[in-house]
Structure 1
Amino acid sequence: MGWGLPNTASLARFCQKLNRLKPLEESTTETSLQRCLSTLDLILLGVGATVGSGLYVLSGTVAKEMAGPAVLVSFSIAAVASLLAALCYVEFGARVPRTGSAYLFTYRGYSWAAFIVAAGAICAMNTVLLSDIFTLPRIAYAMATDGLFFQVFAHVHPRTQVPVVGILVFGVLMAFLALLLDLQTLVQFRSICTLLTFTFVATSTIVLHFHKSLPASSLGPASPVGTEQASAPEPGQLRPALRPYLGFLGGCRPGAAVAWALGVLVASAITLDCVLVFGDSALHLPPWGHTLLLLLSSVVFLLSLLVLGAHQQQRRQDTFQVPMVPLTPALSILLNVLLMLQLSYLTWLSLSVWLLIGLMVYFGYGIWHSKENQQELPGLTATHGSLEETAQALQPLSQDPAQEPGHTEQPDSP
Structure 2
Amino acid sequence: MASHLSTFGKILLRRRKLDLSSVETQFARCLSTLDLIALGVGSTLGAGVYVLAGEVAREKAGPAIVLCFLIAALSSMLAGLCYAEFGARVPKTGSAYLYSYVTVGEIWAFITGWNLILSYVIGTASVARAWSSTFDNLVEQKISGFFKASMAMTVPGKVLAEYPDLFALILVLLLTGLLAFGVSESALVNKIFTGINLVVLGFVIISGFVKGDTNNWHLTENNYREFINSTNGSRELKLKEQYGTGGFAPFGLSGVLSGAATCFYAFVGFDCIATTSEEAKNPMRSIPIGIVASLLICFFAYFGVSAALTMMMPYYQLNTQSPLPEAFSFVGWGPARYIVAVGSLCALSTSLLGSMFPMPRVIYAMAEDGLLFRFLSKMSARTKTPVLATIVSGIIAALMAFLFDLAALVDLMSIGTLLAYSLVAICVLILRYQPGTLNSPSQLEKLMEESEKMPVSGGESGDEYDMEMDQRPLKETFSFKLLFCPSGKIPTVLSGNIVYATTAVISILMTVLCVILANCLPELLAGYSGVVVPCVILVVLCAVCVIIIWRQPESKEALTFKVPLLPWLPLFSVFVNIYLMMQLDLGTWCRFTVWMALATKAATSHSHANTSSPWRTMPQFTRVPPTVTWKQAAALDADWHRPGGALQNFHTHVWPCGYRQMLQCRRLGTLPWV
Q: Shorter chain as normaliser: what TM range? A: 0.7 to 0.9
| Matches of 2:560 and 2:402, distance apart in 1 | 44
Q: Equivalent residue for 1:200?
A: 423
Of 160, 168, 172, which residue of structure 1 is paired with 2:383? 160
The letter for the 2-side match of 1:134 is: F
Q: Equivalent residue for 2:6?
A: 12
- CA change 1:54–1:184 in 2 (3 A) is farther
| Matches of 2:349 and 2:611, distance apart in 1 | 35
Quote the RMSD (CA, aligned, Å): 3.9
Q: Equivalent residue for 1:353?
A: 594
Q: How does 1:369-408 map to 2 (within 5 A)?
A: 369-372=610-613, 375-376=616-617
Tell which structure's C-alpha radius of gyration is larger. 2
Q: How does 1:205-284 map to 2 (within 5 A)?
A: 205-213=428-436, 220=447, 222-223=449-450, 246=484, 253-280=494-521
| Matches of 1:186 and 1:77, distance apart in 2 | 26
Q: How does 1:53-202 map to 2 (within 5 A)?
A: 53-68=47-62, 70-101=64-95, 106-108=265-267, 110-111=322-323, 113=325, 115-116=337-338, 117-180=340-403, 185=408, 187-202=410-425
Deviation by residue 1:247-288 (Cα, 9 ceiling, x = unmatched): 6999x9433332232122112211222222211479999711
% identical aligned pairs:
34
The letter for the 2-side match of 1:15 is: G
- Structure 2: unaligned runs, 5 residues or longer: 97-115, 121-263, 268-301, 303-321, 327-336, 452-468, 621-674
Q: Equivalent residue for 1:50?
A: 44
The letter for the 1-side match of 2:91 is: P
SS across alignment from 1:255: helix
Deviation (angstroms), 1:328 = 0.9
- Structure 1: unaligned runs, 5 residues or longer: 1-6, 225-229, 380-414
SS across alignment from 2:394: helix
| Matches of 2:524 and 2:401, distance apart in 1 | 35
SS across alignment from 2:93: coil
SS across alignment from 1:107: helix
Of 535, 554, 570, which residue of structure 2 is paired with 1:329? 570
Deviation (angstroms), 1:378 = 8.9
The letter for the 1-side match of 2:86 is: F
Deviation (angstroms), 1:373 = 8.7
Q: TM-score, normalised by structure 1?
A: 0.75
- CA change 1:350–1:218 in 2 (3 A) is farther
Q: Equivalent residue for 2:280?
A: none
- CA change 1:249–1:57 in 2 (3 A) is farther
Q: Equivalent residue for 1:35?
A: 29
Deviation by residue 1:43-87 (Cα, 9 ceiling, x = unmatched): 211111111222122232333344555533432332112111111
| Matches of 1:345 and 1:245, distance apart in 2 | 38
Contact 2:523 2:531 in 1 (8 A): no
SS across alignment from 2:266: coil
The letter for the 1-side match of 2:356 is: I
Deviation (angstroms), 1:192 = 2.4
Contact 1:367 1:373 in 2 (8 A): no
Q: For structure 1, which segment, 123-132 or 152-161, has the greater mean C-alpha deviation from structure 2 after superposition?
A: 123-132
| Matches of 2:66 and 2:403, distance apart in 1 | 32
Q: TM-score, normalised by structure 2?
A: 0.48
| Matches of 2:501 and 2:536, distance apart in 1 | 21
- CA change 1:63–1:233 in 2 (3 A) is farther
Deviation (angstroms), 1:183 = 7.0
| Matches of 2:571 and 2:55, distance apart in 1 | 30
Deviation (angstroms), 1:331 = 0.7
Q: Bigger relative contact order, structure 1 or 2, given CA contacts below 8 A and separation 6+?
A: 2
Q: Equivalent residue for 1:341?
A: 582
